[in-house]
Amino acid sequence: MKRIAGIIHARKQSTRCPNKHLRPLGDTTLIDIALEKLSKLDLDEKYLAVYDKELKDKVIDGVNILHREYDSVAPGNAPHNIMYRHLENVNSDYILNFNPCQPFLEVDKLQQIITLFKYSTLDSMITVKKERNFFWDKDENPINFKQNDRLSTTSGPWVYSATHSLVFYKKQYMLDNWELFPNEKGNPKPFIVDWSEQELIDVDTETDFNLVESLWK
């Protein structure tokens, strides 16, 4: 049985949707919704990993703060050895990155996924959705079909697309390699979840936030 730390990583310096975690969403905020859900999950440790005081002030009972340095939350994408160095202060052997930008995720469904990973022999796992589609690379070469295949969304190949809702990985692998996982077959394990379209709304842009705002009643 694995010891798992659930962590919400958040920052104010989002470039595509600034301050999205703290903007009013009805009578709440994205970070409030995420913290409430994290607090209800059966995990060995629960953390809010942040730098900004306004985000630290949002922490609730049952969730602890992991302090991050400014260079890990500055605009842009910090390398993993900066973004994840605070994991040295986590006791659990496995980390769950919990996405705070998907406010419609259902707690019961999240707990089922966590329990499955906890009692599995997997080193890493990422939630995915199953869909039929056809993909090309940047040079217009087919990726998942042959040139003469019929392009049909009813009989075409199934592909798995990451939802980024829950990402599980081994803490020591990250600290040794500064990568989440080896990215080889089965590591991470793509775990198919029957998500609803609403659950999968992920606030990355102003358009996403406006959509969530219109649905959050």
Give me the residues of the chain with pLDDT under 50, please: none
148 domain residue, yes or no: no
146 domain residue, yes or no: no
65 domain residue, yes or no: yes
**60 neighbors 40 (Cβ within 8 angstroms):** no
Angle value at C-alpha 16, between 12 and 21, nearest 5 degrees: 35
Tens digit of pLDDT for each residue in 98-143?
Answer: 999 999 999 999 999 999 999 999 999 999 998 888 888 999 988 8
What local confidence, expressed as pLDDT, does residue 149 receive? 72
Q: Report how far residue 60's alpha carbon sits from residue 29's, in angstroms, rounded to the nearest whole number.
A: 14
Q: Report how far residue 41's alpha carbon sits from residue 67's, in angstroms, rounded to the nearest whole number.
A: 22
The C-alpha R_g of the chain, in whole angstroms, comes to 18
147 domain residue, yes or no: no
Q: Report how far residue 178's alpha carbon sits from residue 204's, in angstroms, rounded to the nearest whole number.
A: 24
pTM for the whole structure: 0.92
29 domain residue, yes or no: yes
Q: Which structural domain, as residue segments, surrounds residue 190?
A: 4-128+162-215
What local confidence, expressed as pLDDT, does residue 77 receive? 87
Strand order in the sheet with 158-170: 64-67, 45-50, 4-9, 94-98, 158-170, 125-132, 189-192
135 domain residue, yes or no: no
136 domain residue, yes or no: no
Number of domains forming the structure of the chain: 1
138 domain residue, yes or no: no
69: domain CATH number is: 3.90.550.10
